[in-house]
Amino acid sequence: MNSRSVSLIMIPVLNLISLVAVRALPIANQIDETASAYSSIDLSKINQQVTTEFLKAWNSSHNGVDQVEAVVLIFCRADGSYFAASLGQTNESNKLRFKWDPAAIAIAHTHPTSLDPKPSSEDKRVADKLGVPIFTMSRWGMYMYDPGTHQITKIQNNLDWLEPSSWVRVSDSRPISVGK
């Protein structure tokens, strides 16, 4: 009788252990997904070619005067340097619509001067979904939303983001966080 009572207790304990293990799996997967969504970008690698693409986008958006936006995707070469490709205007008023390239490490787009220069809630949603930082370029400066930290940071003042040498200074100083 003693051996039977031991076996009856062992089955529920094993079931409980397997149930706990199965319940833990989705939590582990969520942590992995969050970690893989984080994408940091080294601002000191923004160079002349990238700022030239920023300028193309800025000119496409009529220097922020009109309500059209323009998009630039930023990529990383095998040697670690960055390059960018301007995708031109979105052809829609106050909207960001473009063909996504999964090799991109960041998105930059213009904001009309009449709008808040910081990334909008829709910008943040896009960055969170794609797992890459999103930059907004405006007359009032450049801001970045990082999906890894969920923070908006002002990284350049006014039109300094068009000047390649200003990016060296960004890496030397800590950007100012402006909240969510």
Are 33 and 74 within one domain? no
Are 85 and 33 within one domain? no
Give the model confidence (pLDDT) of 46-98 as tens digits: 999 999 999 999 998 888 888 888 999 999 999 999 999 998 766 555 556 77
Q: State the Cα–Cα distance between residues 115 and 117, nearest whole angstrom.
A: 6
pLDDT exceeds cutoff 90 at 132: yes
Are 66 and 147 within one domain? yes
Q: What pLDDT shows up at residue 177?
A: 52
Are 22 and 78 within one domain? no
Q: State the Cα–Cα distance between residues 144 and 178, nearest whole angstrom.
A: 10
**Most confident region among 10-14, 58-62, 91-95, 138-142 by mean pLDDT:** 138-142
Are 92 and 147 within one domain? yes
What's the pTM?
0.71
Are 79 and 119 within one domain? yes
Are 135 and 90 within one domain? yes
Query: Average per-residue pLDDT in the chain?
Result: 76
Q: What pLDDT shows up at residue 55?
A: 95
Domain that holds residue 20: 1-37
Per-residue confidence band for 161, with pLDDT thresholds at 50, 70 and 90:
very high
Are 135 and 80 within one domain? yes
Q: What pLDDT shows up at residue 22?
A: 34
**Which domain CATH number covers 91?**
3.40.140
